[in-house]
Amino acid sequence: MPLQVLGINHHSAPLEVREKVAFPQEIQADALADLAAQPGIAEAVLVSTCNRTELYLRVPDAQPEAPNLGARFLSDHAGMNQQEADRYLYTLHDEAAVEHLFRVVASLDSMILGEAQIQGQVKSAYERAAEADGGFAVGPVLSRMFESALMVGGRVRSETRLGTGAASIPSAAIELARKIFGALKGRRALVLGAGEMSELTMECLRGEGVQDLLVSNRTEARAREVATRLGATAVGFERLPQVMGEVDIVVSATAAPHPVITRSLVEQAHVGGRKRPLLILDIALPRDVEPAVGDAANVFLYDIDDLSQVVEGNLERRRSEVAVAEGIISDGVLEFWHWYRGRNVVPTIRELRGWAEQVRERETRRALHGLNHLSARDQAAVEALTRQLLAKLLHSPTTRLREAAAEGRDAQTLEVARYLFALDDTVLERDAEWNGRKREP
């Protein structure tokens, strides 16, 4: 089982486990180089996002311990014992591993169906692997596999409506912001809270070009940690009246049991009235914002129910596209698998053609030696004729070998082909056998 994927994702593990296993981007190249240096690993790609950490491996058939190498690599990084890690790890092999990657890139395996970020994240992971350890982490198989997956992902996005419309609370918030402000580039945004929903919202805002991004949290150390990781600026809760007077967008996702944004806070922030629009998106439950805030001039307030209606309508449209996406993925997996299986017969085809070409050259040379009265043009015609004959004779065997490989019958077919053409003998033995047959009456 040379192709394998080992991983942990939002289906198999809670957030606190996924956080332990995740690899910060700055250490991924070094970690991958260490993994690829293991003797049981021929090729490796590491994909690590907020919802999944996965190892895509190609291992020699003679290395049955490779899955254990990958599992130990993940558990050691997470500081977990192997038994604990095994509760959350999944392992897929060969065609199932290929299909899994294609589904991941097409965002059918995402927490949010059709989300757009995963394709870019996988592409970046593949590019890092191609550069890691001098480019030795990735070889021809995983390169073809990831490039095929990215191509299939592109087809799913262009040929279906799977990515149409916001399909998460943070993305719905961004969709509403665009309706009010148009392009968000150059806008200032404040995010209250430092949990997963807040982080996703900050990533969405960054993706829309918001450069001036502030984050505030009751626990200031947590705000600073998130700000450092996502390139934002941490501000204390005590500065909210000042900061809210300077931003265009406020997204609140705290776990507070009572409102943190009140009508009086907004009025304090905008003494004399708000001169430009302020969008407040309350994605907390219970709500972070007093409903009366929405009555203030130039303040647009949306709560989680408003956003949920946007999301549900878009998700329903996305679900109707899943069958079409599955068909595109199936075609892509089949095409890759035919190519992959066909690789098994390439050495035999190359060897067969090499042996046949040696025979052709030798016999043509002998024939032309006795036909030295022919002109150079006629000798070239004889040479061309033998090449054409050889190509026609080998066309059917090589085609059948590739077809057998694509259908999974390569092992038996290769054995027969190698026996019939004596490809397991040495060159000298084959030549002696050939010359012996030539001397027979």
Instruction: Say how far apart CA 168 and CA 312 lie, in whole Å.
Output: 9
Residue with tokens 């092992």: 411
Neighbours of 336 (CB within 10 A): 23
For the chain, count helices (H), then strands (E): 18, 10
Q: In the Cβ-directed half-sphere of 167, how many Cα atoms lie within 13 Å? A: 21
Burial, 88: exposed, middle or buried (Cβ in 10 Å; 0-12, 13-18, 19+)? Answer: buried
CA angle 311, 315, 316 (to 5 degrees): 120
Residue 204 appears among annotated catalytic residues: no
Q: With left for phi above 0 and alpha for psi between -120 and 50, is residue 3 left, alpha or beta?
A: beta
Instruction: Say how far apart CA 105 and CA 121 lie, in whole Å.
Output: 9
Beta-ladder partners of 233? 214
**Percent of the chain that is helix, strand, coil (3-state, to 5):** 60, 10, 30
DSSP state letter for 289: B
Among residues 31, 50, 96, 315, which one is catalytic?
50
Distance of CA 363 to the CA centre of its chain: 52
Closest CA to 108 of 99, 95, 97: 99
Q: Which are the catalytic amino acids?
A: 50
